[in-house]
Amino acid sequence: MPVEVILPKVDMDMATGQISRWFVTEGAVVKQGDVLFEIETDKAAMEIDAPASGILLDVTGKEGVDIPVGAPVAWIYADGEAYGADAVAKQDEAPISPLVGEMSAKPTEGGAVPPASHSAAPASGLPAISPTRGEISQSPLGARATPLARRLAREAGIVLSNIAGTGPYGRVVKADIDAAIANATPRVAPEAPAAAVASAPAPKPMSDDQVLKLFAEGSYELVPHDNMRKTIARRLVEAKSTIPHFYLTLDCELDALLALRTQLNAAAPVKKTEKGEVPAYKLSVNDMVIKAMAMALMAVPDANASWTDSAMVKHKHADVGVAVSIPGGLITPIIRHADEKTLSTISNEMKDLASRARSRKLKPEEYQGGTTAVSNLGMFGIKDFAAVINPPHATILAVGAGEQRAVVKNGEIKIANVMSVTLSTDHRAVDGALGAELLGAFKRMIENPMGMLV
């Protein structure tokens, strides 16, 4: 039997994916484990291997087209396995489970099953289509069809024997099923009872036509959304629509942290590499922010949570996601157990994750989940901003640029390096006072950074 090649689910939230490119062509001989194609999700590009050895045929997955998860994109036939007329004959001879609407008769006393009547309309309301491409002998148990066509027909409630196949040797193919569905008479749904009180319709975004009418023709270029951008847009709309965001902002003085960072980097041991001798680590301010956020969550464990409708998920470790800008979007690789890791470990791990994120080589487990996130736009000179929470997180910390500001100390005006941070919280899980407690713990870690070393 041929082996189905499907579009796999490589992301927890993945509903569709796109084949960015095929590495083999239809009719090619492949071995199990050979790379067949590359798929693009909103997070990464991943290579998909052949599940079996044989000949790649019935390729339906097109490059650059959204494909549902689990949908077949091709079939692999074993070397020497019948295909075409011979395969059709063998399929007709093999016992086949009855399709919807094809068999309703029970065995007679002699055990024979009378042929199913094809004169009745299919249960789905799809039209009965008579063969038009010459006479094709039909098995009483089913029509000649590709495995994909059989599955689609079964899902749509189509009687295969009523379909005129346009494939090789009169075989029913996917296009025939699509045509039958397109020509079907829509079924009328029963009228729903009138609501007691008519609710106001939900506001809808402007349509494409409404947007384009606002601009002179020829004054713009249309750039189709890729899968990453569409998924990012969908998730952001869901997050802002379903999570009640609450925001808290405060300032942190950085002088002690910057001094400690300089000392630690100067004390870094040297290691030999292909490029020569390099420091074993080089700490950034963001590395120390990650550590401070992780320790703050452990100091305020009630804020280290995720919301579900049935229960509060209380996490035992701080897994900190870090927003990384990549071409066409962003991704949030995660530092697992950041509360337990040293600053040097966090720094080196973050550099590796960011590098592989930009080349879209992260594994799903390296960016899925997490208990909080950090988004830093300080390198762009942004003073402060508010970030959107990424479910299942209940918090995200937006970090602004460090800059010299005038501060009052002991009644005197002093100059200090200060950065503003804004904590976004899911108000269902983290109330205002709890969020303030978490942000206060973070501020103490930043302004007394020696605590991150013990």
Kindly list the catalytic residues. 427
* N-to-C CA span, the chain: 61
Identify whether the C-beta of residue 251 lies closer than 8 Å to the C-beta of residue 404: no
* Helix (H), strand (E), coil (C) string for the chain: CCEEEECCCCCCCCCEEEEEEECCCCCCEECCCCEEEEEECCCCEEEEECCCCEEEECCCCCECCEEECCCEEEEEECCCCCCCHHHHHHHHHCCCCCCCCCCCCCCCCCCCCCCCCCCCCCCCCCCCCCCCCCCCCCECCECCECHHHHHHHHHHCCCHHHCCCCCHHHCECHHHHHHHHHCCCCCCCCCCCCCCCCCCCCCCCCCHHHHHCCCCCCCCCCCCCCHHHHHHHHHHHHHHHHCCEEEEEEEEECHHHHHHHHHHHHCCCEEEECCEEEECCCCCHHHHHHHHHHHHHHHCHHHCEEECCCCEEECCCCCEEECEEECCEEECCEECCHHHCCHHHHHHHHHHHHHHHHCCCCCHHHCCCCCEEEEECHHHCCCCCCCCCCCCCCEEEEECCCEEEEEEECCEEEEEEEEEEEEEEECCCCCHHHHHHHHHHHHHHHHCHHHHHC
The phi and psi torsions of 258 (rounded to 5 degrees) equal -65, -35
Query: Which among 380, 18, 74 has a CA at the least distance from the CA of 231?
Result: 18
Residue whose pair of structure tokens reads 């196949």 in the numeric block: 165
Longest CA span, the chain: 106
